[in-house]
């Protein structure tokens, strides 16, 4: 058959458009994902939920299907058009986000969150493998860092807009307003191109068959540094998602802010600083890695080591300005590990394995991090709340902001603060794991 289709040509203009679209998709992804945490105080009040249930809605109910379907969708993306798959999935998660606004109880909201997770399962594998196929090795980590800006952008929009809508309209309205525009984004996704041969960045290489998933697992698990990075990123994700899910609730309970004010504060400390940490981590890792591939590990270690004590100190404050200042500083380093980890997931395997490799990483990050991070914070908050209420030790420990009610707003403020300080310790564990990965990273990524 005559092949009249022109070969895929990477131009600077197309690279820019690809990144713009993928950042928008990732932003939409995290707007929908962040919204529940910002609306949690209002949802909890109307549906009479516990912190554990809020943590489950923000984590496990979403993450189980998100992670389970991520791998088969990635395998499909290795063979079929990633662009079409992503377009369909963007439409699914946007519609299901709007459906969350119709929920009348915990079960219905959990099912809607499952639908959001099913749709979002295609985002990371498809997006990152498209980037890896379009950008050369020297620019790949920086491109992935730019892509990951969708996380702070989406978190900021979701936090500020969600809080304002909940305060001035209704939390259900927020789901409708945020979810439905994603259908238009799904159509715009179809403007992207599918690279022919799956390796536009490495031109001249002939197409090869898609390796079986066992080959991808064997490649990843056969490199000790990659395994440590996988564990380190999962533990770091638990801290990140746990903190993001409960930030707005923390500001409501601790300082008596309304929903709009709490959303603004959560967006300020959990979103804008991440722009610096995402870009800084990617640029630093690329700079290090030009001389030594262990730079992917050291950039991650630096960010996590600095973020840990800043988060703990921030959640200990009973002054709003002091808490915001410390938490903003922590956010400047919070996700420095993200782009280097994406780079390792892509650079450790050959082009036809990249979507599957990212899906395997995403499975671990999201099942452990997103699935159990918010759930752990919610469970610990309920536990500490009960213990502190029984012992009346919240006031004795000085964890109550003045003027917000008797018993530190029934000790729930102190309980949530303790839970957030506990989850912040996961960054220290993650730093240790990334440090271990550096021992063999130079050899494991020698051919990347």
From first to last of the 448 residues of the chain, give the pLDDT tens digit. Answer: 444 445 556 677 787 888 888 888 888 888 877 788 788 888 888 888 888 888 878 777 777 777 777 677 767 766 777 888 888 888 888 888 888 888 889 888 888 888 887 777 777 777 777 887 777 767 777 787 788 778 778 888 888 888 888 888 888 998 888 888 888 888 888 888 777 554 444 445 555 566 777 888 888 888 888 899 999 999 999 999 899 888 888 998 888 888 888 888 888 887 778 778 877 887 887 787 777 778 888 888 999 999 999 999 999 888 899 999 999 999 999 888 888 888 888 788 877 777 678 778 877 887 888 788 888 898 888 888 777 666 655 454 455 544 444 444 556 778 888 999 999 999 999 999 999 988 888 877 755 5
DSSP letter (8 states) at residue 404: S
Kindly state whether residue 3 falls inside one of the protein's structural domains.
no
The reply to whether 205 falls in a domain is: no
Residue linked to tokens 């707005």: 248
Q: Is 216 a domain residue?
A: yes
Query: What's the pLDDT score for residue 201?
Result: 46
Q: What is the pLDDT of residue 304?
A: 94
Fill in the DSSP letter of residue 370. Answer: I
- At 399 the pLDDT is 53
Q: Which pLDDT value is given to residue 326?
A: 95
Interhelix angle 12-47/171-179, nearest 10 degrees = 160
Whether the CA torsion 308, 151, 48, 56 is positive or negative: it is negative
pLDDT at 9: 66
What per-residue string of b and e applies to 386-398 under the rule 16 or more CB within 10 Å gives b?
A: eebbeeeebeeee
What is residue 436's predicted lDDT score, i.e. its pLDDT?
A: 92
CA 160-310-228 angle, 5° bins: 95
Helix (H) or strand (E) holding 144: helix 137-147
- Whether residue 431 lies inside any domain: the answer is yes
The whole-angstrom separation of Cα 137 and Cα 296 is: 13
Assess if residue 7 is contained within a domain. Answer: no
pLDDT digits over 277-291, tens only?
A: 877 887 887 787 777
Using the structure block, give the residue that is written with the tokens 């964890």. Answer: 399
- What is the extent of the structural domain holding 394? 12-199+210-444
Q: For residues 251 and 264, give the distance between their C-alpha atoms in angstroms, rounded to a whole number.
A: 10
Distance between CA atoms of 435 and 341, rounded to whole angstroms?
Answer: 13
- Please list, in sequence order, all residues whose beta carbon lies within 8 angstroms of the beta carbon of residue 178, skipping any fewer than 6 positions away: 31, 32, 35, 97, 158, 161, 162
What is the rounded CA–CA span in Å between residue 401 and residue 292?
A: 47
Cα distances from 432 to residues 234, 261, 423, in angstroms, run: 13, 36, 15
The CATH number for 34's domain is 1.20.1250.20
Residue 35: the pLDDT is 83
- For residue 290, which phi and psi values (nearest 5 degrees)? -65, -25
Cβ atoms of 173 and 95 closer than 8 Å: no
As for how many domains the chain has, the answer is 1
Is 244 part of a structural domain of the chain? yes
What the block records as the tokens of 153 is: 């952008």
Q: Is residue 5 part of a domain?
A: no
**Looking at residue 411, what is its pLDDT?**
62
Instruction: Tell me which residue has tokens 């998602």.
Output: 241
CA distance 128 to 359: 10
Q: Are 136 and 201 within 8 A, CB to CB?
A: yes
How much is the pLDDT for 179?
Answer: 82
Distances (CA, A) of 123 to 85, 205, 235, 377: 9, 26, 21, 26
pLDDT at residue 202, rounded to an integer: 45
Find how far residue 394's CA is from the centre of its chain.
Answer: 32
Question: Angle CA(30)–CA(33)–CA(34) in degrees, nearest 5?
Answer: 85
**409: its two tokens:** 């707003």
Q: What is the pLDDT of residues 43-75, one digit of tens each?
A: 888 888 888 888 878 777 777 777 777 677 767
Give yes or no for a contact between 43 and 106, defined as CB atoms under 8 angstroms apart.
no
Structure tokens at 280: 């800084």
Residue 4 in any domain: the answer is no
């Amino acid at each position: 058959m005559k092949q009249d289709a022109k070969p895929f040509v990477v131009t600077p203009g197309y690279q820019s458009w690809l990144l713009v679209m993928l950042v928008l998709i990732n932003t939409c992804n995290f707007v929908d994902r962040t919204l529940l945490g910002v609306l949690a105080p209002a949802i909890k009040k109307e549906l009479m939920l516990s912190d554990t249930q809020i943590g489950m809605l923000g984590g496990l109910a979403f993450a189980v299907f998100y992670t389970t379907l991520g791998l088969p969708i990635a395998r499909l993306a290795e063979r079929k058009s990633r662009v079409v798959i992503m377009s369909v999935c963007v439409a699914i998660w946007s519609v299901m986000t709007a459906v969350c606004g119709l929920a009348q109880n915990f079960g219905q909201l959990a099912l809607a969150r499952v639908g959001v997770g099913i749709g979002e399962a295609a985002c990371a594998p498809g997006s990152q493998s498209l980037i890896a196929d379009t950008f050369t090795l020297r620019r790949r980590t920086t491109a992935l860092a730019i892509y990951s800006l969708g996380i702070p952008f989406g978190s900021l929009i979701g936090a500020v807009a969600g809080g304002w809508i909940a305060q001035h309209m209704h939390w259900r309205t927020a789901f409708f307003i945020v979810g439905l525009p994603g259908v238009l984004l799904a159509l715009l996704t179809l403007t992207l191109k599918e690279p022919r041969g799956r390796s536009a960045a490495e031109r001249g290489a002939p197409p090869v068959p898609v390796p079986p998933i066992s080959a991808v697992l064997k490649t990843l698990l056969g490199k000790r540094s990659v395994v440590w990075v996988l564990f380190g990123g999962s533990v770091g994700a638990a801290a990140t998602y746990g903190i993001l899910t409960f930030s707005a609730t923390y500001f409501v309970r601790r300082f008596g802010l309304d929903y709009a004010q709490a959303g603004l504060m959560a967006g300020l400390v959990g979103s804008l600083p991440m722009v610096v940490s995402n870009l800084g981590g990617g640029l630093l890792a690329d700079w290090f890695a030009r001389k030594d591939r262990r730079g992917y590990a050291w950039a991650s270690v630096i960010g996590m080591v600095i973020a840990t004590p800043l988060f703990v100190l921030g959640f200990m404050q009973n002054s709003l300005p002091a808490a915001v200042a410390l938490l903003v500083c922590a956010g400047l380093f919070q996700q420095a590990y993200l782009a280097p980890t994406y780079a390792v997931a892509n650079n450790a395997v050959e082009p036809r394995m990249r979507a599957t490799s990212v899906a395997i990483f995403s499975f671990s990050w999201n099942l452990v991090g997103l699935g159990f991070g918010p759930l752990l914070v919610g469970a610990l908050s309920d536990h500490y709340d009960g213990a502190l209420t029984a012992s009346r030790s919240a006031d004795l420990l000085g964890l109550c902001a003045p003027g917000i009610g008797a018993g530190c707003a029934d000790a729930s403020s102190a309980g949530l603060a303790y839970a957030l300080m506990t989850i912040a310790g996961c960054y220290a564990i993650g730093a240790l794991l990334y440090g271990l990965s550096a021992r063999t990273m130079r050899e494991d990524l020698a051919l990347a």
